[in-house]
Amino acid sequence: MEYNHKDIESRWQNYWRDNKVYKTALDTTRPKFYVLDMFPYPSGAGLHVGHPLGYIASDIYSRYKRLRGFNVLHPMGYDAYGLPAEQYAIQTGQHPEKTTTDNIARYRQQLDRIGFCYDWDREVRTCDPKFYKWTQWAFMKMVESYYDTELDKAQPISKLVEHFEKEGSKGIHAACSEELDFTADEWKAMSEKEKSDTLMNYRIAYLGNTMVNWCPQLGTVLANDEVSEGLSIRGGYPVEQKLMYQWCLRVSAYAQRLLDGLNDLDWTDSLKETQRNWIGRSEGAEMRFPIVGSDIELEIFTTRADTVFGVTFMVMAPESEYVDKVTTPEQRKAVDEYLESIKHKTERERMIDKKVSGVFTGSYAVNPLTGKEIPIWISDYVLAGYGTGAIMAVPAHDSRDYAFARHFDLPIVPLIEGCDVSEESFEAKSGKMINSASADFSLNGLEVPEAIAATKKYIAEKGIGKVKVNYRLRDAIFSRQRYWGEPFPVYYKDGIPHLMDESSLPLLLPEVDKYLPTETGEPPLGRAKNWVTPEGYPIELNTMPGFAGSSAYYLRYMDPDNNEALVSKEADEYWRNVDLYIGGTEHATGHLIYSRFWNKFLYDLGYVVEPEPFKKLINQGMIQGRTNFVYRIKDTNTFVSLGLKDQYDTTPIRVDVNRVSNDVLDLDAFRAWRPEFKDAEFILEDGKYVCGWAVEKMSKSMFNVVNPDDIVERYGADTLRLYEMFLGPIEQSKPWDTNGIDGVNRFIKKLWGLYYKGDQCFVDDSKPSAEALKAVHKLIKKVTGDIETFSYNTSVAAFMICVNELSSLKCHSREVLEPLVIVLAPFAPHVAEELWHTALGHDTTVNDAKWPEWNEEYLKENTANYAVSFNGKARFTIQVPADMPKDEVEKLALSHESSAKWLEGKSVKKIIVVPNKIVNIVVG
RNA sequence: GCUCGAAUGGUGGAAUGGUAGACACGAAGGACUUAAAAUCCUUUGGUCAUUGCGACCGUGCGGGUUCAAGUCCCGCUUCGAGCACCA
């Protein structure tokens, strides 16, 4: 029997499927282990060779854990709502559901060919009503909750209502959009609409008038993580800031818990750091500056409380609500003109344009420490959304304030001894304070950190301000003006939003004639007929964003068919949370934040038992494309090989990588590729056409997409799996390079040759030699250690070494060949399964085998090699019996004939013997 | 600007502070073959030496700790990632 990957792989894939070999059930007698891949968005392009990288890694780990006796949950599903399907629908009129279903079918086919051990009975699709019922359900729970800042958890909104009834807003501790102040009587006197609006200020999912990222080209709002440098991540269209009435999630209330939770997670430092940056905690002080001739106080946030004595002016954001209140009649015209000029700029223009601009309001504030009057300005370098939307300007110690002061000729007061502010600001947080004293308070002579602490204490005592922590993390905007997403279970009665009854879930996505906004600018759901409740009230027209469906999907896999709960108590208590999560870094500030938030919310309400969803997380690197080039001599149809191209004037042209093998162009395939190359001529080197190459993003337009199907067809899934792991550490990004895959394929054939030659099976029950036992036990030890640390590339190398040793030893003993198959099974399951059954004669599947333990006895050496070195420079090697005591090794090393010349005229100061490694003789 | 990470042959990459370059690709030479493919064997960091041995230099750069540094410490350079008018 020759190794025939097509026959072996299709046979076993069918067997696994028909016998539901990978079906997982809740089994409290066995320890659980939950291994999860980030589920893919099923795009029209299908899988390329980069996608399976993480899936293979998690598959290996799942199979390994299973062989170790764990009950492994390893599911897969689809993040099926998304913009591409909707845009395709707009262009073609094809229902997004149709394209999505087709794409999923294609993905499934591609995934199946690689031989993954998913339990497909647990598949979820975010666009499936059975699934999105629970997305809508969680949203409703968020609407019905507020965040108690004292208990530090979500609470039912009814508790807050009770409090309002009794004491109004006095003494509440609830996260809110803005501080409100009302009495119980005022609350009771509110209209239904006013009450609704008031409660929106506290709900965890709330309707709010907020600055949103509006993308006109996409026709929808976007969350902060969907925007980068003022452009939409999808499509790269400009994004503007716009005040809109939108559903939001009060993620900011969870900022501190999201930050603290990171400490206990087994994630990479860089990913945790990314999340910490995104949450952006900064400790400082909030201070009030009274405005001259008014009872308004301007509130600011600063991390540099020590610099208050250097505040020479104040600046507020153009969008600040105080702008109107402090602008004097004389300055009104100038201010209006300035606001108008800002309004026309997009967010991106504002970011790029670093020119200093601003306008004086005409009003003055009082510096609470110096008592001096300072002017209040407006400038767009102050952001409305962060802190209080106003700042105290310290030009001597902040570069932005410095630039502003210089431009408008405002005073600059240095506060740190010896600093030079004639050219630029001094921003270092060190040095001794100067110029910082009033009648009853002085910071002079203190170091900066001491001064910060002293000022915080002082302002708190004086009632001027208080210590405050600010976060960069904003609430997530939860509405999208799109069709292809979850509808909100919300209807409007007299303009007041109401939740639908829980029993009416899921609220099904309605049919529409077109997937575009309506003529009046309403979202696509505005086209739906009868989009009203049975009572005739209109239903919300927005849909939920992509992250809604992906925030709790890992919980649904635990209990996918449950129609009574997101996940049953029993299933949740058994599976708990994800032990190992594998996916890309691109979700660091999106999905991985939202999911943690969502989980913490459900945890607060008692629906889940674990406060964190993903215990350990591995980020697989991106597989980049490796583009091949051919070089056409200008104005001809002649192509010159890489090594000779410098002799001609050439144009590099990207060539389909599938027509190139090991950088050598297949000439006929190239001629057949496109009509214009039909008559191409070639200048070869050594009879070959060698292509150039470059690393680029893997994409159709670069002609560098490699489809896993082609690799599986040619070499088999086992070769693909081993090769992807062999490329390098999984965390690392690397270009896909088909060069080298032959080496892995050769390994599998060589392995096969240990068991079979022609039709003859070699496996016998003979006693293996010590060398053979050693080879395989070394392998077991190495692979066991490697799997736990995800060093799969060195495991593959270990397999190669072991098989090479066994074939040169001509070892065919079952005692050696059986454990070899078991440890190989996670990596190359098809060939392992085949050998397990046919060559080794088992009738169970290799998945039910027991992971072998290595025996240290077999690994013992009977001789030990020592490198003998003098002052750290290795000079020669000695071989001694393994159990020779240290002092004898020393003696032997010193008496070796080669030692004489190193010892000549010198004395031995010290001898260091590292077992099996080195004898270092220190001479001097 | 702040934060984090990385840098090792022609290439991808190995190395608990202990003989750097495992394993693989590529390349060169050889065996088998009419020939090619496939397969197998040998060589492959550099320089010099070489029908014997060898010798010296080598992990981005400059210092340091150590008997011993790719690995630890300090200071740079370059590349990558995250955040960024965030006060």
Percentage above 90 pLDDT, chain A: 56
Model confidence at A576: pLDDT above 90:
yes
The alpha-helical segments, DSSP class H, found in A557-651 are 569-575, 591-604
Best-predicted range by mean pLDDT among A368-382, A623-637, A643-657? A368-382
Helix (H, G, I), strand (E, B) or coil at A246: strand
Tell which strand B nucleotides have any atom below 7 Å from a protein Cβ: 3-5, 11-16, 18-20, 22-26, 28, 39-41, 55, 67-69, 80-87
Distance A101 CA to B67 C1' (A): 68
Instruction: Dig out the tokens for A667 from the structure.
Output: 């000439």
Which nucleotide comes closest to A270 if you measure CA to C1'?
Answer: B4
Q: Please indicate whether residue A431 or residue A454 has the higher confidence score (pLDDT).
A: A454
Q: Which residues contact A91 (CB under 8 A, 6 or more apart)?
A: none
DSSP per-residue codes, A283-309: EEEEEEEEBTTSS-EEEEEES-GGGGG
Model confidence at A869: pLDDT above 90:
no
Percentage above 70 pLDDT, chain A: 99
Q: Which residue carries 């072996």 as its tokens?
A: A8
Model confidence band, residue A1 (pLDDT cutoffs 50, 70, 90): low
Distance A868 CA to B39 C1' (A): 41
Which nucleotide comes closest to A872 if you measure CA to C1'?
Answer: B68
Query: What is d(CA A315, CA A353) in angstroms, rounded to the nearest whole number?
Result: 18
pLDDT by residue (tens digit) across A613-647? 999 999 988 888 888 888 898 889 999 887 777 78
Model confidence at A599: pLDDT above 90:
yes
Model confidence at A603: pLDDT above 80:
yes
Query: What is d(CA A237, CA A213) in angstroms, rounded to the nearest whole number?
Result: 11
Distance A387 CA to B87 C1' (A): 8
The secondary structure element, H or E, covering residue A581 is strand A578-583
Contact present, A348 and A229 (Cβ < 8 Å) = yes
Contact present, A226 and A275 (Cβ < 8 Å) = no
Model confidence at A693: pLDDT above 80:
no
DSSP per-residue codes, A469-481: EE-S--PEE--BS
Distance A875 CA to B56 C1' (A): 13
State in Å, rounded, how far the first CA of chain A is from the last one.
66
Residue A577 pairs in a beta bridge with none
Contact present, A146 and A174 (Cβ < 8 Å) = yes
Which nucleotide comes closest to A808 if you measure CA to C1'?
Answer: B40
Model confidence band, residue A814 (pLDDT cutoffs 50, 70, 90): very high
Query: What is d(CA A667, CA A657) in angstroms, rounded to the nearest whole number?
Result: 13
Which nucleotide comes closest to A753 if you measure CA to C1'?
Answer: B39
Model confidence at A694: pLDDT above 80:
no
Contact present, A64 and A790 (Cβ < 8 Å) = no
pLDDT score at A329: 93
Distance A595 CA to B72 C1' (A): 39
Distance A730 CA to B16 C1' (A): 21
Contact present, A705 and A699 (Cβ < 8 Å) = yes
pLDDT score at A810: 86
Distance A173 CA to B25 C1' (A): 64
Which nucleotide comes closest to A686 if you measure CA to C1'?
Answer: B27
Query: What is d(CA A30, CA A34) in angstroms, rounded to the nearest whole number?
Result: 13
Residue A491 pairs in a beta bridge with A498, A539
pLDDT by residue (tens digit) across A182-209? 999 999 999 999 999 999 999 999 999 8
Distance A873 CA to B45 C1' (A): 19
Instruction: Dig out the tokens for A425 from the structure.
Output: 């600001």
Which has the closest alpha carbon to A846: A826, A865, A875, A866? A826
Q: Which residue is nearest nucleotide B13, judged by alpha carbon to C1' distance?
A: A728
pLDDT score at A241: 74
The secondary structure element, H or E, covering residue A462 is helix A448-462
Q: Which residue is nearest nucleotide B12, judged by alpha carbon to C1' distance?
A: A727
Query: What is d(CA A397, CA A421) in angstroms, rounded to the nearest whole number?
Result: 8
Phi, psi dihedral angles at A5 (to 5 degrees): -65, -35
Q: What is the mean pLDDT of residues A212-234?
A: 80
Which nucleotide comes closest to A913 if you measure CA to C1'?
Answer: B18
Helix (H, G, I), strand (E, B) or coil at A142: helix
Q: Tell me the residue type at A841.
A: G
Instruction: Dig out the tokens for A300 from the structure.
Output: 């600011």
Model confidence band, residue A350 (pLDDT cutoffs 50, 70, 90): low
The CA–CA distances, whole Å, from A353 to A346, A348, A356, A357, A381 equal 10, 8, 9, 10, 10
Distance A802 CA to B66 C1' (A): 37
The secondary structure element, H or E, covering residue A807 is helix A792-809
Q: Please indicate whether residue A485 or residue A900 has the higher confidence score (pLDDT).
A: A485
Instruction: Dig out the tokens for A185 from the structure.
Output: 């009587």
Instruction: Dig out the tokens for A322 from the structure.
Output: 């105080």
Distance A624 CA to B45 C1' (A): 28
Model confidence at A484: pLDDT above 90:
yes
Number of H helices, E strands in chain A: 30, 35
Model confidence band, residue A518 (pLDDT cutoffs 50, 70, 90): confident
pLDDT score at A709: 94
Q: Which residue is nearest nucleotide B87, judged by alpha carbon to C1' distance?
A: A302
Which has the closest alpha carbon to A719: A2, A5, A1? A5
Which nucleotide comes closest to A915 if you measure CA to C1'?
Answer: B18
Q: Tell me the residue type at A759.
A: D
The CA–CA distances, whole Å, from A83 to A86, A549, A597, A614 equal 5, 14, 24, 27
Peptide bond into A52 cis (omega under 30): no
Phi, psi dihedral angles at A466 (to 5 degrees): -155, 160
Query: What is d(CA A393, CA A407) in angstroms, rounded to the nearest whole number?
Result: 14
Q: Please indicate whether residue A917 or residue A460 has the higher confidence score (pLDDT).
A: A460
pLDDT by residue (tens digit) across A298-316? 999 999 999 999 999 999 9
For A345-471, where are the E strands, in sequence order? 359-366, 373-378, 390-393, 465-470
Which nucleotide comes closest to A393 if you measure CA to C1'?
Answer: B87
CA A698 to chain centre: 19
Residue A220 pairs in a beta bridge with A215
Helix (H, G, I), strand (E, B) or coil at A909: strand
CA A65 to chain centre: 24
The alpha-helical segments, DSSP class H, found in A168-232 are 184-189, 192-200
Which nucleotide comes closest to A917 if you measure CA to C1'?
Answer: B18
Distance A740 CA to B35 C1' (A): 27
Q: Please tell me whether the overall predicted TM-score, pTM, comes out greater than 0.80 for this model.
A: yes
The CA–CA distances, whole Å, from A646 to A131, A629, A640, A665 equal 60, 14, 9, 18
Query: What is d(CA A35, CA A38) in angstroms, rounded to the nearest whole number?
Result: 10
Q: What is the mean pLDDT of residues A826-849?
A: 95
- Averaged pLDDT score across all residues of chain A: 90
Which has the closest alpha carbon to A324: A336, A315, A313? A336
pLDDT score at A537: 96
pLDDT score at A889: 87
Distance A727 CA to B9 C1' (A): 17
pLDDT score at A658: 84
Residue A777, judged by CB atoms within 10 A of its CB (0-12, 13-18, 19+), counts as buried
